[in-house]
Amino acid sequence: MKKSLLIISSALLLYACGAGKQLAAIEKSPVLTSIDLVNVVEDRVQVIVDPGAFASSTVIFRIPKTVPGTYSSDNYGQYLQDFEALDYKGNPLQFVKLDENSWSISNGTQLDKVRYWVNDTYDTENEVVDAVFSPAGTNIEKDSNFMLNLHGFVGYFDGFKEVPYAIHIKKPADLIATTTLSDQIDRKPDPLWDAFLANRYFEVIDNPIMYAKPNTESFEINGITVTLSLFSPNNVYKASDLKNRMLKMMEAQKKFLGDVDSTKEYNILLYLSDVNKPDAHGFGALEHHTSTVVVLPEAMDIGRLEQAMVDVVSHEFFHIVTPLSVHSKEIQYFDFNDPKMSQHLWMYEGTTEYFANLFQVQQGLISEEDFYERMLGKITNSKFYDDSMSFTEMSKNILEQPYEPNYANVYEKGALINMCLDIILREKSNGEKSMLWLMKELSKKYGSDVPFEDEVLFGEIVQMTYPEVDTFFKEHVIGDTPIDYDVYFSKVGLATKDVEESTGYFFDGQVPYMDVDVQNDSVVFIRENIELNSFFDDLKLQGGDIFKVINGQEINLESLRPIIGESFSWTPETVVSMTVERDGELVSVEGKVGQPVKKVKKIVPLENVDQIIIDLRKAWLKD
């Protein structure tokens, strides 16, 4: 982390030593970038980056390899084509491509500008192995939609990340920009152009722009103006369809957060993709300080789309707490081409995801049962990852094997780590303190411009809280001991229990208890490695058993259908006879079908617990 700082400052020093005058000149005049969205050629747009004068003989131009929030190496340079470096007379200068994202230009003092074509990521996602996550990706759809995640379009010169960038965009007349980049209406080179200004390169990538036909709604929440801009390729949805739900949700978020300092403006750029075409399919969102890019399938029905937007946008909006206002130096001085990772993903993603669930129960958007269900789902999902992997170790090495495939556990176990810490804080403070309290304290202490030292954060949190928090960090966040969640549930009078729930004979809701082997005469068999219902259990049938005869009827895929139909009118007294094939042998069973139930895990309140524990649970969920 310190190293990247040193690289920046020594590079600046070099330029300063060479010729102080030019540096001063460059620092004042912004790097001028122009993007032409009108003359789209073969699904590509042309970009020109004009940095002003250079004093050194070699100049290195780079496009990010990775950007904050993605935790993956995406090499945006691979989408650049026909790179040219031009001198003041328009003649090409020699350059060498250093790697996928970097170009070294000789005769830097002669360099006027670089020019290149950019291809987009959305329509090639299907063709590449490690596709760029769509909310960080780019779209070029002539006269219709441009998703300008600017790190895919605008590069920087080594040593010149801290200078302003003027971004001029030539655009089709009927498309409008949605962005939180500051507008420079008086700097427009032409009425058909847009002009924006970023104070440093970080702001270029922190403020994506979406161009689309107007489909926008704005609303006010307690001093924040929220703008939702939506692109729906087949005109299925309007921004107004989602406005009320978003308004209600973000109002609840604002209430939950209370007096946290936040932005005055927040933009939601929603791109709905067409699943029937080569289009974006990395569904989710990427956070920025004042906006978020969301990508979801247009084919979702309104109910699912609204719920997805609530879950996704609330998560992204809570990123204004962390990492946007509480983060380490690794993030503050992000090295786009040689990133150093922080060890605190448990917080950046875990706390955020936890809050995105907690606020919903605290503000009455979901019930306590729904909240328990979500936490239980996270416990189940977390077991699909390495539960004995140190979270800090994983975080620091998230771009490498074997850590990278465990990344998504930050949304599962990462959230659960925060739930446990939240319960510890409530318990030790008689219900008063919480993770939200802790994050508010940390954001007061640091805030968006002051990073913390990666290694000292745990110590600071422990100093602000309790020794039990230290033990928890050492065992379950830094250490690799899996968490026994029931220990923490019991502190608030809860426990995970097996309970019986009614189900169907052959189907559990929409999910069948059987499967078809198409390779083998399409025989129908009982699914393996799943928990069977009481109907199959009581008849002593097992996963893998192949249906041969039911009630005297020989069974194949066709003849099973009417029997499933009949089963809806069975009573518990109905008697069924079945013959199945198990390991090559025929097994016959007969018995009453009973009332089918399944065993499910649930988080349930314990009986006969002290009032003090019930009060603690209230403080936790309804503060």
- Chain residues in the site for Zn ion (CB under 5 A): 349
Ordered alpha helix ranges (H), 185-225? 201-206
409, burial (CB in 10 Å: exposed 0-12, middle 13-18, buried 19+): buried
CA distance linking residue 329 with residue 336, whole number of Å = 14
CA distance linking residue 149 with residue 207, whole number of Å = 8
8 Å CB contact between 551 and 563: yes
Question: Which amino acid, 310?
Answer: V
SS (H, E, C) 7-61: HHHHHHHHHHHHCHHHHHHHHHCCEEEEEEEEEEECCEEEEEEECCCCCCCCEEE
Chain residue whose CB lies nearest Zn ion: 349
Both tokens assigned to 281:
């399919």
Total Cβ atoms within 10 A of residue 5: 13
Q: Which helix (H) or strand (E) covers residue 103, if one does?
A: strand 102-105
Ordered alpha helix ranges (H), 539-604? 557-567
SS (H, E, C) 490-525: HHCCEEEEEEEEECCCCEECCEECEEEECCCCCEEE
Dihedral angle computed from the Cα positions of residues 404, 406, 408 and 409, in that order, rounded to the nearest 10 degrees: -150
8 Å CB contact between 450 and 326: no
CA distance linking residue 569 with residue 61, whole number of Å = 72
Nearest approach, Cβ of 352 to Zn ion (angstroms)? 5
Bridge partners of 601, per DSSP, are 498
Please list, residue by residue across 457-490, b when 16 or more beta carbons sit within 10 angstroms of its beta carbon and e when fewer do. Answer: bbeebbeebbeebeebbeebbeebeebebeebbe
> Who's near 70: CB < 8 A, 6+ residues apart?
133, 136, 286
Question: Which amino acid, 437?
Answer: W
Nearest approach, Cβ of 357 to Zn ion (angstroms)? 13
> Who's near 237: CB < 8 A, 6+ residues apart?
230, 272, 298, 302, 305
Total Cβ atoms within 10 A of residue 110: 18
Residue 221 CA, chain-centre distance (Å), reads 24
Nearest approach, Cβ of 322 to Zn ion (angstroms)? 10
Residue 279 CA, chain-centre distance (Å), reads 18
Q: From the CA atom positions of the chain, what is the Rg in Å? A: 29
Nearest approach, Cβ of 239 to Zn ion (angstroms)? 23
CA distance linking residue 480 with residue 483, whole number of Å = 9
SS (H, E, C) 440-451: HHHHHHCCCCCC
- Region for 131 from its dihedrals, namely left if φ exceeds 0, alpha if ψ lies in -120 to 50, beta otherwise: beta
**Spatial CA neighbour of 328 closest among 261, 396, 278:** 396
Of 84 and 404, nearer to Zn ion (C-beta) is: 404
CA distance linking residue 256 with residue 222, whole number of Å = 12
**Spatial CA neighbour of 548 closest among 580, 520, 587, 506:** 580
Of 177 and 286, nearer to Zn ion (C-beta) is: 286
Of 294 and 603, nearer to Zn ion (C-beta) is: 294
Of 112 and 412, nearer to Zn ion (C-beta) is: 412
Of 310 and 546, nearer to Zn ion (C-beta) is: 310
Q: Which helix (H) or strand (E) covers residue 577, if one does?
A: strand 575-582
